[in-house]
Amino acid sequence: MFAVLAVTFPFFALVLCGWLAARLRVVPLSAIAGLNTFVLYFALPCLLYRFGAGTPLAQLLDPVAAGVYFGVALVLVAATVALTRRRWGWSDASFAALVTAFPNSGFMGVPLLVALVGPHSAGPVILTIAVDMCLTSSLCVALSRLGVGGMQGMAAALRQALRGVAANPLPISIALGAMASAWGWRLWAPLERSVAMLADAASPVALFTIGAVLARSQLDRHEAVAPREYLPLALVKLLVHPALVWAGGWLAMRLGLALAPATLVVLVLVAALPSASNVAMLVERFGAHTGRVAHIILVSTALAFLSFSALVAWLV
């Protein structure tokens, strides 16, 4: 356990540094958007491209792993919406479902799991990022509009979500990395070094930015939230989500589907990550309850230091 904590501690410490920097205004709140832009449009796409280009295409396009992971996401989304829609309405229930089913696999998962499990984990993690960004997010955004414009509002929101996916640099970089892996492309040497430098910056800046975004969400929030509205969902994210992924993977292997045990371990660890911080930006854009989502992200990130580390010590 101490060996695992020695690896995970620096990652969560960088998140804490970002949170403190924003809370103490060492980093102005207005600068956080710039940090987000750097990570989202420059550093993280380069990191995903490098890992994608160096990963066998079969790992990036593993239909069984994608089916297990997305199947569990559908179960979580359906259960969360069913249990909360009458109290909170379609919009808040849908985004509560998204923050419960969408782990922070982009900003935190790739560097953390590669450090803990090894380079072979990059393929399954990248696959989960594609599933969450293209499928789970689009589904929840579409569901959130059912209470506003019915089926027409849902269709319009789904089109808007898909346009956002098409313009998002992360799926684009994943696709380019997959093509580079399939056809053996190599970048021009000076360009490859530039990509490598940006990729190396992705992990520390992304983790620092997570903390800063969490602090900003707290400082900007004007909605009071009782613990019973966010703590159960944070625990579902950290405990129930990975348990369901393990159960789904076990069932797939029992049915004779080609799912490697090492891949299942990575999928379970991805599911055990805290909630994705970028869900808070979606919530703000669509006018849902920002306070609840911000609390779920903050609490799941704080508790994940112990829960995620314990799961790693058990599985790896």
The predicted structure's pLDDT at residue 36: 86
DSSP string, 283-311: HHHHT--HHHHHHHHHHHHHHHHHHHHHH
State the angle between helix axes of 261-271 and 110-117 in degrees (0 to 180), rounded to the nearest 10. 140
Quote the tokens at residue 190: 């000076």
Identify the three-state secondary structure at position 143: helix
Angle, vertex CA 119, rays to CA 279 and CA 67, nearest 5:
55
Residues 152 and 95: their CA atoms lie apart, in Å, by 19
Closest CA to 275 of 5, 15, 33, 14: 15
- Contact between 277 and 298 under an 8 Å Cβ cutoff? The reply is no
Q: Residues 6 or more apart from 306 whose CB is under 8 A from it?
A: none
Residues spanned by the domain of 42: 2-315
Question: At which residue do the structure tokens 């969400």 appear?
Answer: 217
pLDDT digits (tens, 9 = 90+) for 126-143: 999 999 988 999 888 888
CA distance 43 to 37: 9
Task: Identify the CATH number of the domain in which residue 296 sits.
Answer: 1.20.1530.20
Cβ neighbours around 223 below 10 Å, total:
11
The model's pLDDT over 172-203, given as tens digits with 9 standing for 90+, comes to 898 899 899 888 888 889 999 999 999 999 88
Q: List the one residue out of 122, 169, 23 whose CA is nearest residue 15.
A: 23
Domain count for the chain: 1
Each residue's pLDDT tens digit, 17-44: 999 999 999 999 889 889 988 988 999 9
CA separation for the pair 103, 41 (Å, rounded): 20
Interval 211-270: pLDDT, tens:
998 888 777 655 567 888 899 999 999 999 999 999 999 999 999 999 999 999 999 999
Question: What's the mean pLDDT when you consider all of the chain?
Answer: 88
Q: Is 188 left (phi over 0), alpha (psi -120 to 50) or beta?
A: beta
pLDDT of the residue at 124: 94
